[in-house]
Amino acid sequence: MLRRNRLNNRPGQFAPMSFFSLSKRGWLILSTLLALGAMQSGCSSKDIDPDELPAELVDFEPAFRLQKVWSAGVGAGTEKLRLALRPATDGQRIYAAAHNGRIIARDARTGKSAWAVKTGLPLSAGPASDGNVVVAGSSNGEIVALEAETGAQRWIQEVTSEVLGAPAIGSNVAVVQTVNGKLTALDLTDGSTVWSIQQSVPRLTVRGTASPVISRGQVISGFDNGRLASYDLASGAEMWSVLMDPPSGRTELERLIDINASPVIAGSDVYAAAYQGRIGAVALESGQLLWSRELSSYSGIAVDISSIYITDQRSELVAMTRGSGRELWRRKDVRNRDVTAPAILGSSVVVGDFEGYVHWFDIATGALQARVKVGGERISSQPLVLDDIVYLMTDAGSLHAYRVKADKRKGS
């Protein structure tokens, strides 16, 4: 179900809490949806399907205790905007950005401030860092690059539209995908365009874009038309392209097949999932589709040596085998809680939800291990894991670091 969201115009304008993006002639679809909503507005609470309500949190015996390591304010202006702002790390520092333009750098272990910069831009995606440069994108279609050591501005470059996927950094380029279907590589030295490619964009799309990923001289990204494609990092030449699931249905809404969840590379395989579509594995070198299974997601994927973990369209957490996509376990007790993409921390899978709760599940069985509330605001971005610490950013613009306490005695 598509809940708690509105529609938005593509490519330039931006509206809070938007779930869809709309381009030309798509407003006809919008007016139809609004009319249907108006017809249904007289329904009483008795008519609400209990399956559409957020799952109630249940009491449980925790498997271990959690310890807050540190916390910091990043900046305001992030609430309700459904942005792609997520903490990043270079292995030593944690970088985070807020919609009000502020970017901070903190020591990963202690939380001690290294620097904080006001860019003056309405930041919407990132940051990303390779330890030398920090790169973030804005709602107005600007890319800003800062020196990782000091936060000094290296350059600002305009791209063609709003950025809603974190940049990827590799081989002296930053690769950025914009909401109008363009994938652009920018030179890290001066921000000049190295290459740019264009994919088609349907009239109605799920708001957001997948973040590109870089591996073995390739850039892999998913697009709003349901395609997963690989490009040569140096030249932008297409290496392969695969349609994860052909669109079906009579209406524009039924035919949505966006790949909004960023692909994940593990070994020689790429894993990707589409909204109202399928999850599948693709060979990194050839683009051959190895397997696919019906599963809809717009959130994200985590992968370990043997399994895939994904938050599906109904906000249920699902574990599957990497080799075939066979389902291993499923957690329905976070259903409709708008949980984030999962992250793997030791023997746990970690997700945040719309009330600011963070849940730890056993990686092997799916059993609930621990839970903590991080403020009272939604957590939209995927948790970040570095060593034994998980970093969580709320939509209110606060960054929190947690670890499992050394004393893991059950119920302690």
User: Which tens digit of pLDDT belongs to each residue from 73-132?
Assistant: 998 766 555 677 999 999 999 999 999 999 999 999 999 999 999 999 999 999 999 999
What is the number of other CB atoms lying within 10 angstroms of the CB of residue 356? 20
Is the pLDDT at 318 greater than 80? The verdict is: yes
- What is the Cα 80 distance to its own chain's centre? 15
What are the residue ranges spanned by the domains of the chain? 54-74+312-412
Q: Can you tell me which residue has the tokens 């570095």?
A: 386
Which structure tokens are listed for 316? 């249920």
Comparison of pLDDT for 201 and 240, the residue scoring more: 240
Q: What is the mean pLDDT of residues 146-173?
A: 95
Confidence (pLDDT) at 35: 43
Confidence (pLDDT) at 210: 79
CA distance 284 to 268: 5
Tens of pLDDT along 338-396? 999 999 999 999 999 999 999 999 999 999 999 999 977 899 899 999 999 999 999 98
Is the pLDDT at 32 greater than 80? The verdict is: no
Confidence (pLDDT) at 3: 31
**CB distance 10 to 164 below 8 Å:** no
**CB distance 361 to 404 below 8 Å:** no
- 129: three-class secondary structure by DSSP: strand
- 57: three-class secondary structure by DSSP: coil
CA distance 146 to 164: 19
Poorest-pLDDT segment among 5-14, 32-41, 285-294: 5-14
Tens of pLDDT along 183-238? 999 999 999 999 999 998 766 555 656 799 999 999 999 988 888 999 999 999 99
CA distance 234 to 346: 35
- Rounded mean pLDDT of the chain? 84
SS (H, E, C) 167-204: CEEECCEEEEEECCCEEEEEECCCCCEEEEEECCCCCE
Which structure tokens are listed for 234? 């140096």
- 38: three-class secondary structure by DSSP: helix
CA distance 80 to 360: 25
**CB distance 144 to 136 below 8 Å:** yes
The overall longest dimension of the chain from CA atoms, in Å, is: 60
CA distance 149 to 87: 17
First to last CA, the chain: 39
Q: Tell me which residue of 87, 103, 79 sits closest to 377, measured CA to CA.
A: 79
Q: Can you tell me which residue has the tokens 């006809």?
A: 28
Cis (ω within 30 of 0) for the bond into 11? yes
- What is the Cα 265 distance to its own chain's centre? 15
Q: What is the mean pLDDT of residues 264-274?
A: 92
Which structure tokens are listed for 250? 């009579």
Instruction: Please state which CATH number belongs to domain 54-74+312-412.
Output: 2.130.10.10
CA distance 296 to 277: 5
How many Cα atoms within 13 Å fall on the side-chain side of residue 307? 21
Which structure tokens are listed for 291? 């397997």
CA distance 37 to 216: 48
- 209: three-class secondary structure by DSSP: coil
How many Cα atoms within 13 Å fall on the side-chain side of residue 363? 16
Reported pTM: 0.85
Is the pLDDT at 142 greater than 90? The verdict is: yes
Comparison of pLDDT for 330 and 209, the residue scoring more: 330
CA distance 367 to 346: 14
Highest mean pLDDT among 28-42, 276-290, 306-320: 306-320
Cβ neighbours of residue 140 under 8 Å, at least 6 residues apart? 121, 122, 162
Q: What are phi and psi of 308, to 5 degrees?
A: -115, 140
Confidence (pLDDT) at 79: 55
Q: What is the mean pLDDT of residues 10-20?
A: 38
Tens of pLDDT along 247-259? 555 665 554 566 7
Confidence (pLDDT) at 34: 43
